[in-house]
Amino acid sequence: MSIQIPDSQLINSGEPEGEGTGDFRGLAAMDLRELAMLQDRELTREMLQALNEVDFPRNMGLRIASPQGVEVFDLMGEAVSELADSDEPALDDLAADYASIYLNFGYQASPCESPWLDEDGLSYQEPMFQIRNIYRHYGLQADDWRRRSEDHIVLQMLFVAHLMEVEGDAALRDAANFLDEHPLRWVDRFAHRAAGRCVTKFYAALVTLGSMYLDHLRDRLAESIGEPRPNPEQIAERIAERNPKPEEDDSPACGPLCIPREEPKPGRRRYP
């Protein structure tokens, strides 16, 4: 099964979380799919009008109560309101920002994990393969890794949304571990760089909101499973145990009769 956003869930129409109300897991899943959708495709006038009608981002299920969270919610709300009745030039600016962040890497802020964690800043590296194996464990795969690799922020958000809907505490622990070992190791740097280079308020707010939401969700997961968040050293040790380095291969180099594997080749882009 490929990781996709259901058309019926493009805009979250659910009620925000209130004291003693709402389903934490379901609300988080809807929020994540909404944030993923907004980074999945270029904005249209119809999408902006729908966001304005549901009062995005105040329609989101989980609220970020910190001063920084309130600030980014307000900034995002202002951007949506201002753009709801935008003219064509405003839409052009949005399209240019979207392309520079998610398509052509014009801002040198890759939305994929490998370039941020690979020593040489290359795409299609070890983090992508680690995530591919995690998806496979849950019977999931990228729709087309050549177009969007498994370590893309959109697919990572959709995967966590999927875990939030899987019954049992084990899925919640897997979601917490996945956040620790993958998006939360790089998404803040991605958001900071992209936001600083965006032309539009909308995308500057969106990438910041996405990063802050994942961090907030991790705090909520810590409360839900009753386990404190690990520190960076503990996360590094866990990653090393989970992904041991292969032993050096002393066999002869591959000759002309070797069959190449059907795997992505390291990219030439060096980001960040």
AA identity, residue 265: K
d(C-alpha 206, C-alpha 229), whole Å: 25
Bridge partners of 8, per DSSP, are none
CA distances from 101 to 93, 155, 208, 221 (A): 12, 15, 13, 29
Residue 183 has pLDDT above 60, yes or no: yes
Residue 196 has pLDDT above 90, yes or no: yes
| pLDDT tens, position by position, 125-182 | 999 999 999 999 999 999 888 889 999 999 999 999 999 999 999 999 999 999 999 9
pLDDT at 247: 63
Averaged pLDDT of the chain: 86
- Structure tokens that stand for 137 in this block: 């464990």
Residue 14 has pLDDT above 60, yes or no: no
Bridge partners of 141, per DSSP, are 2
pLDDT at 258: 37
| pLDDT tens, position by position, 53-97 | 999 999 999 989 999 999 999 999 999 999 987 777 789 999 999
Residue 267 has pLDDT above 60, yes or no: no
CA distances from 265 to 54, 215, 248 (A): 42, 31, 21
pLDDT at 112: 98
pLDDT at 261: 41
Residue 265 has pLDDT above 60, yes or no: no
pTM of the model: 0.85
d(C-alpha 29, C-alpha 40), whole Å: 16
d(C-alpha 162, C-alpha 1), whole Å: 12
Average pLDDT for residues 24-44, to the nearest whole number?
96
CA torsion sign for 64, 66, 72, 75 is positive
pLDDT at 85: 79
pLDDT bucket at 13, cuts 50 / 70 / 90: very low
User: Hey, what long-range contacts does 131-135 have (CB within 8 A, 24 or more apart)?
Assistant: 131/155, 131/156, 131/159, 131/182, 134/159, 134/178, 135/3, 135/159
- Structure tokens that stand for 188 in this block: 């803040």
pLDDT at 36: 97
Give alpha helix (H) positions in 138-263: 153-164, 169-181, 187-197, 201-225, 232-242
Report the SS3 class of residue 71: helix
Residue ranges covered by each domain of the chain: 23-241
**Which residues, 6 or more positions from 146, have their beta carbon under 8 angstroms from its beta carbon?**
264
Q: pLDDT exceeding 90 applies to what percent of the chain?
A: 75
pLDDT at 243: 82
With contact defined as beta carbons under 8 Å apart, do 32 and 157 qualify?
yes
- Structure tokens that stand for 39 in this block: 């980074």
**Which residues, 6 or more positions from 176, have their beta carbon under 8 angstroms from its beta carbon?**
218, 221, 222, 225, 227, 229
Looking at domain 23-241, its CATH class is mainly alpha
pLDDT at 260: 40
